[in-house]
Amino acid sequence: MAGKSIFVDTTRCTACRGCQIACKNWNRNAASATKNLGNHQNPPDLDGNTFKLVRFSEVENEGKVGWYFFPDQCRHCLEPPCKDTAEGYVNESVIQDDATGAIVYTDKVKEAPFDEIKSSCPYDIPRRNARGLAVKCTMCIDRISNGKKPACVSTCPTEAMSFGERDEILKLANERLAALKAKFPKAQLLDADQVRVIYLVVDDPKKYHKNAVASLERGNRRFAAKRVIDSILRV
């Protein structure tokens, strides 16, 4: 599969949140008023102005404390269920960019029901912005179409994120996985065959974030399929 991919090596992430803010900066997304809820993750979740969020999880393994960081964002699925859901309602509401594979919502997405789009996402990514529009990471389609890296990747101090041709990124991800396997037997790439944003974790993915891997509880295939079939019948 050609196109681009992003590799997120969580073992290199220092949670400096440069990516979280670089994303807002490029996308001109505002901040919301937050409170400290007893941890450092803020805003508490992805929202209409937050396409990338560093999630913080404290863990304890055999009496040793650990702190996992997970810069969460749209995975840009190779075969994106959100697209199928939305396109079941209206064409051109979700674009899968030919050159890069980036999944991008257009303004037409407002004509598709947000709840269905959201619940069809195996990673619980889409959110609604102030205009009521479904929004999420665009892989910085405007930057990557002009030879630049996504803003989050460019700003990462520790090269926890890499961007490039999918085959090269997969190679890099697998090399890194192999290097970490000896020290971390649970090291794994998350859903690498299905998505363009590939995470490397060294422990149970659920310890990083409940939706780190595609979840059986999520995704709405029947609903999506029904909508598609209904729309076909309407044609």
Partner 1 sequence: MTNHGIDLANSDCILIMGRNAAENHPISFRWVMKAKDAGATVIHVDPRYTRTSTKADIYAPLRSGTDIAFLGGMIKYILDNSKYFKDYVLNYTNASYIVGEKYGFKDGLFSGFNTEKKAYDSSTWAYELDDKGIPKKDPTLENPRCVLQLLKNHYARYTPDAVSSITGTSQDDLLKVYEAYSATGVPDKAGTVMYAMGWCQHSVGVQNIRAMSIIQLLLGNMGIAGGGVNALRGESNVQGSTDAGLLYHILPGYNPTPTAAVATLADYRKKYTPGTKDPFSANWWQNRPKYMVSFLKSMYGDAAKPENEFGYAWLPKGEEGKPYSWLDLFDAMYAKKLKGFFAWGMNPACSGANSNKTREALANLEWMVNVNVFDNETASFWKGPGMKPKQIKTEVFFLPCAAFLEKEGSISNSGRWVQWRYKAQEPPGMAKPDGDIIYELFLEIRALYQKDKKAKFSVPILNLKWDYATKHQFDPHLVAKAINGYWTADKKIGDKTYKKGEQVAAFALLQDDGSTACGNWIYCQSYNQDGNNMARREKSDPSGIGLYPKWSWAWPVNRRIIYNRASVDPTGKPWNPKRVVVEYVGEVKDGKYASGSWKGDVPDGPWPPLKNPDGSAREDGKLAFIMKPDGYASIFGPGLKDGPFPEHYEPLECPIDKNPFSPQLNNPVAATFKSVKDVIKKCDPKFPFVGTTYRVTEHWQTGVLTRWLPWLTEAEPQLFVEMSEELGKLRGIKNGERVVVESPRGTLDAVAIVTKRFKPFVIQGAEIHEVGLPWHFGWVYPPQGGDSANLLTPSVGDPNTRIPESKAFMVNVRKKGA
Partner 2 sequence: MKLTRRDFFKISGAATAGLAAGGLGFDFAPVEAYAWELRTKDAKETPSICCYCAVGCGILCHTDKKTGKVIYTEGDADHPINGGALCAKGASSYQIAQNDKRAQNVLYRAPNSDKWQVKKWDWALKEIAKRVKKTRDATFVEKNAQGQVVNRCDGIASVGSAAMDNEECWIYQGMLRALGLFYIEHQARI
16 near partner 1 (CB under 8 A): yes
Q: Which CB sits closer to partner 1, 206 or 226?
A: 206
What is the SS3 string spanning 173-214? Answer: HHHHHHHHHCCCCCCEEECCCCECEEEEECCCHHHCCCCCCC
Neighbours of 35 (CB within 10 A): 7
172 near partner 2 (CB under 8 A): no
Please select the residue that binds partner 1; options are 92, 111, 142, 159, rule is CB under 8 A: 159
For residues 218 and 235, give the distance between their C-alpha atoms in angstroms, rounded to a whole number: 29
CA angle, 217 then 219 then 225, to 5°: 135
Q: In angstroms, give the least distance from the CB of 132 to partner 2.
A: 22
133 near partner 2 (CB under 8 A): no
Q: Are the C-beta atoms of residues 208 and 70 closer than 8 Å to each other?
A: yes
141 near partner 2 (CB under 8 A): yes
Q: Which stretch binds partner 2 (CB under 8 A): 35-43, 45-53, 73-81, 166-174?
A: 73-81
Q: In angstroms, give the least distance from the CB of 25 to partner 1.
A: 7
CA atoms within 13 A on the CB side of 210: 6
Q: Are the C-beta atoms of residues 184 and 201 closer than 8 Å to each other?
A: no
Q: Which CB sits closer to partner 2, 26 or 68?
A: 26
Binding mask 85-124 for partner 2 (x = CB under 8 A): x-xx--xx--xxxxx----x---------------x-x--
Please select the residue that binds partner 1; options are 1, 2, 19, 21, rule is CB under 8 A: 21
Strands 161-165 and 4-9: antiparallel
Please select the residue that binds partner 2; options are 2, 34, 58, 157, rule is CB under 8 A: 157
DSSP state of 172: H
Length of the chain measured in residues: 235
- Exposed e or buried b for every residue in 149-177, given b needs 16+ CB within 10 A? bbbbbbbbeeebbbbbebeebbebbeebb
Which residues inside 184-213 make contact with partner 2, applying CB under 8 A? 188, 191, 193-194, 213
Positions in the binding site for partner 1 (CB under 8 A):
12, 14-18, 20-21, 24-25, 30-40, 42-43, 58-60, 65-67, 69, 157-159
Positions in the binding site for partner 2 (CB under 8 A):
16-18, 20-22, 25-26, 77, 79-81, 84-85, 87-88, 91-92, 95-99, 104, 120, 122, 141-143, 145-146, 148, 151, 154-157, 188, 191, 193-194, 213-216, 218-225, 228-229, 232, 235
